[in-house]
Amino acid sequence: MTQHLTGRTALVTGATSGIGAAIARTLGAAGAHVLVTGRDAGRGALVVDDIRKAGGSAGFEAVDLAAGADDLRAFAGRALSAAGGNLDILVNNAAVYPVGPTATMNDADTAGLLAVNVLAPHILVGALVPAMAERGHGTVVTVGSWMASVGTAYTALYSATKAAVEHLTRCWAAEYGPRGVRINTVSPGVTLTPGNEAHRPLLDQMTAATPAGRVAQPEDIARAVAFLVGDDARMIHGATLAVDGGITATRPS
């Protein structure tokens, strides 16, 4: 990993495990000071320790993204202070994924999906990106999902939240891009994480016929994020980069 992010500060939501932790470690290895965020301070400390042991710089900020708008804006203020008043990179990674039949989806799960997957990125962009625009530079990446592009049974609202953040990305790119802030989405395919590793045989079955022929690892997604937030991606605005092994673009013959 090149040190192409040296001197920059990144905030990664949902960074205490899985894809978020891999993104935090990868950005740290690329030279960024990383604010690891999440609900679990113990797991956050482990990620921070990993980054520091690898020679990087990191800190932890606790946040519950379902807590409400006022709490999220207060968190944004704390994070900005922890970043020394200058945040260069925002990665909206955190998400919840309760699934099941539409008719039996309970109200708490519905509220959580909307709060964490859609409203939290919206509020954090509104709280943190204007300062980037004032300075004339910054990058935002939101982590979407391949499921935003296909219709699958029993995942309606989750998939809809991921389609929503893809469109938020396009609108934010139009709003902030002219002022120097690049905003894009990374759309992972079937990815092995602590939350789904018990279902590994199903994941292998889902990906066997894709061009990649395998399940994605969190590091595959993290490397795409590191590319998009770097200067080599300076002409990429409002895009959704599929890192899905070809699951959405192809079908076996």
Residue positions annotated with a catalytic role: 158
Name the strands in the sheet holding 9-12, side by side, starting at the edge strand that comes first in the sequence. 57-62, 33-38, 9-12, 89-92, 138-143, 181-188, 240-243
Contacts 24+ apart (CB under 8 A), 24-28: 24/51, 24/58, 25/50, 25/51, 25/54, 25/56, 25/222, 26/1, 26/219, 26/222, 26/223, 26/225, 26/226, 27/89, 27/91, 27/222, 27/225, 27/226, 27/229, 28/54, 28/56, 28/57, 28/58
Contact yes or no for 241/187 (Cβ under 8 A):
yes
